[in-house]
Structure 1
Amino acid sequence: MAELTDKYTYRITWSEDDSEFVGLCAEFPSLSWLAKSPEAALKGIRELVGEVIVDMTGAGEVIPEPIAGRNFSGKFMVRVPPEVHRQLAIQAAEAGVSLNRLASAKLSH
């Protein structure tokens, strides 16, 4: 299971409420692991993910695909209020770029 758990997206952050580091996994948003050091938080969340994968496999459940292995088209739709759409169209026109290019630049920052 270690090979699959290596491919998941982990993040370690500080929890002010718990006064400890918390390990998280994007593909398993309901899981977390608290520890005194960031290294221990990463080790803990990785082991927990491995245990959950074993349990899910045993129960015949579908295991989440690692984000790193997914293919993305680079295209998604965002709905905004008409006034926001208008303001963005004006900004794009004033900058001499397409609305798509303006939105992409804003999302990249």
Structure 2
Amino acid sequence: MAEMQDYKQSLKYETFSYLPPMSSEQIRAQIKYAIAQGWNPGIEHVEPENTMNHYWYMWKLPFFGEQSVDNVLAELEACRRAYPTHQIKLVAYDNYAQSQGLAFVVYRGS
């Protein structure tokens, strides 16, 4: 039987957190997919110690109608420069289903 991991040491934040970290190309592909679905990208961030206990802060409003992957990547990088120690995730909002179509942690902070 596999050894049990301590909950605090094995925190998982989103579906993709069970996989190895994504490359830049894979992150770009996920953003491209979200935009192709008509979803509105948004960026959220939070201190690592509050990841599981609090709502995440929004980095600006969601990018309604955004069609450029490069603009979303630039905003992710701007958020990372402003909050280098924070967890930063991309959320894609689905207007039709009125829910999140996609959400994953892009930067885990330091």
Structures share fold, TM-score greater than 0.5: no
More helix by share: 1
TM-score, normalised via structure 1 length: 0.31
Q: Which structure: larger Rg?
A: 1
TM-score, normalised via structure 2 length: 0.31
Indicate the structure whose relative CO is greater, using CA pairs within 8 Å and at least 6 residues apart.
2
